[in-house]
Amino acid sequence: MEAQQKLTEVQVETPIIEETSKQDFLAPETANNNHYLILGKSGEGKTVLTKRILTQLANKDSTACFHVIDLHGEYSELFTKECTWSSVERGFPFDWLKKTTDLPWDIHVDQKLCEIIEATNLGPVQLGDLRKLLLRCKKDITNKELALVLRKHLSQSSQFHLDPLILLLRENTNIKSPYGRSVLHDLSHLSNKVSQSIYVISLFRQIFIQAKFSNDSIPHFLILEEASRLIKAETTMDMLWQEGRKFNINGVFIAQSWTLPKSVKQNSATMLLFPSAASAIPDSTNLTDFQNYARPVFKFDGSNGEWLETQISENKNQATVIDSPLNFPHQAQEINEKHHDGQHELKLTKISEAVDECTEPAEEVVDNKDNTQENSNDIKNTCEPNKVHDSESLDQPSDNSFYRAKWTALIISIIGVGSCLAISISKVVV
């Protein structure tokens, strides 16, 4: 038998990343919920931004529990204590055939209970045949037909009538649940995308069920990258985004495209859009999805995690555009763009990028204009000081680049006007 693949579980006390922002990068107290949606293409800094948000959330509430679905092994630095799970075998996260007392998940109680109900009249011989049949099916777990059946089963709401029975079984079984503690779910060794999707959906459903029947008020944050690929079941998202907030369940979803359930786009109180996602809004989604959002305000400096402004929108929900990769210095210059759909208007506040000839990202950059001179000695970067960190360059672009761009635009305009005049004259002559 192949060696078992491991899932990494980490008990978090306090994230070890140092918090540098003076203000929390969190949803305002008046927000409808604590759901976050972060959109942008690969390389724009979604993971860097997510780590900072998690750090601030943990610092704000020490009782909060985080479930980080780590697909590429990028979040281990946020956690301290380590141990491993051995529940992943042959690329699939659940072992249905072990005894219940050895299982690490409450969801196995659900599965075992269903088996007992369906097989009440079966004897030892039939149960042995059933075990062999399950083993045979398990070998072909990656085929498309079985994946569709499992996804359909997980999307059905009929399983919720068993919820009280599942919870009653907890007292009689030694079951280790992820509920009530922070866990890093390292799926970097689980290459099968179907298995990843089933794992995530099952985990989120189980946390929701336990929070629904629990009397505690522990906030749970579910963090998922590549959400548009792993979560496609509309019922699962509706459940988490619409009902989850009643039970203190919050989602932080990171995706590269707008191909997400409508409930996610409409019920995320804080939406963080990188340039690729912002530019795709008029084409890939209807602006009515944003009718609950007021004019977005820029709050976050992508180069180092510092705030540029502290303006808070009067509306409960906010959408923010980050117009620069998070690992590069840039100039703070607002560009407002309006998009119309006839009834609703979405006004995006962007930050223009101006990256100097620097190959290494800044470790720490202070972008507060009033305190630039005072903190200039604390700035560390591999770029030359007179390129990026000069006090004047923080407030305005360098003279050379500014005038070069200005003259280039002027020349292009003159050429364009001249071409138009020439065409007009030629038509008149003809």
Phi, psi of 34 (to 5 degrees): -110, 25
> What H or E segment, with its residue span, contains residue 5?
strand 5-11
The dihedral built from the CA positions of residue 229, 46, 25 and 332, taken in this order, carries a sign that is negative
**Closest to 238 measured CA to CA, from 197, 206, 267:** 267
Cβ-based neighbours of 201, under 8 Å, separated by 6 or more:
151, 154, 231, 233, 236
Q: What is the pLDDT of residues 380-390, one digit of tens each?
A: 333 333 333 33
pLDDT at residue 56 above 70?
Answer: yes
The Cα angle at residue 63 between residues 160 and 209, in degrees rounded to 5 = 0
Cα 285 from Cα 269, distance rounded (Å): 18
Between residues 349 and 234, the one the model is more confident about: 234
Q: CA distances (Å), 104 to each of 24, 37, 109, 216, in order?
A: 35, 30, 10, 22
- Supply the pLDDT for residue 30: 58
**Closest to 319 measured CA to CA, from 280, 268, 256, 284:** 268
Greatest alpha-carbon pair distance for the chain in Å reads 99
Mean of pLDDT values over 412-416: 58
**Closest to 38 measured CA to CA, from 251, 184, 202, 354:** 251
At residue 377, the 3 state secondary structure works out as helix
Cα 338 from Cα 111, distance rounded (Å): 51
Q: What is the pLDDT of residues 238-296, one digit of tens each?
A: 778 788 888 888 889 888 887 777 777 777 877 777 777 766 654 434 444 544 443 34
- Supply the pLDDT for residue 399: 47
Tokens at 104, concatenated: 């690490």
Q: CA distances (Å), 361 to each of 61, 380, 381, 383, in order?
A: 30, 10, 7, 9
Tokens at 225, concatenated: 């990258």
pTM for this one? 0.49
Mean of pLDDT values over 149-158: 54
